[in-house]
Amino acid sequence: MTMHTNHRHRSPGATRAVHHTGRPCSKCGKRTMSANRICDSCSVGIGGDIERLYHSREWKRVSKYVMIRDMYKCQQCGGLARIVHHILPVRLNPERFFGSGNCIALCVECHDVIHGRKREGGA
């Protein structure tokens, strides 16, 4: 495991040890700088600016694939799906943001229930 000091985005004199995993970034293929399998360049937006990822070409491609795969059918109730939902939350698994295996098609109502914005039964 290679270790080097990274001075980017740090105040003068501050250093940080960064461990290369030696595995490629799951998004761009470059060698990753951390255990989450996404390089520094691709991880911009994970967290505070995540909305930018939802507007990316890659996400549009993945979400279209998921909708076709799931035949525009909500995987909870069988109704008409309009949303692609991450099964494992993005904040816990940022490296799987663009992974279609971590996504399912849902209707708006079921998506709201899953995220606690609505109770089951429509109330």
What residue segments make up the domains of the chain, in order of their start?
A: 1-44, 53-123
4 pLDDT exceeds 70? no
Q: Is the pLDDT of residue 105 over 50?
A: yes
Closest CA to 59 of 92, 103, 28: 103
Q: Indicate yes or no: pTM above 0.75.
A: no
| Residue bearing the bigger pLDDT, 35 or 27 | 27
Fold of 53-123: His-Me finger endonuclease fold (3.40.1800)
pLDDT tens across 32-45, in order?
555 556 565 555 54
Bridge partners (DSSP) of residue 121 are: none
Query: Does residue 73 carry a pLDDT above 70?
Result: yes
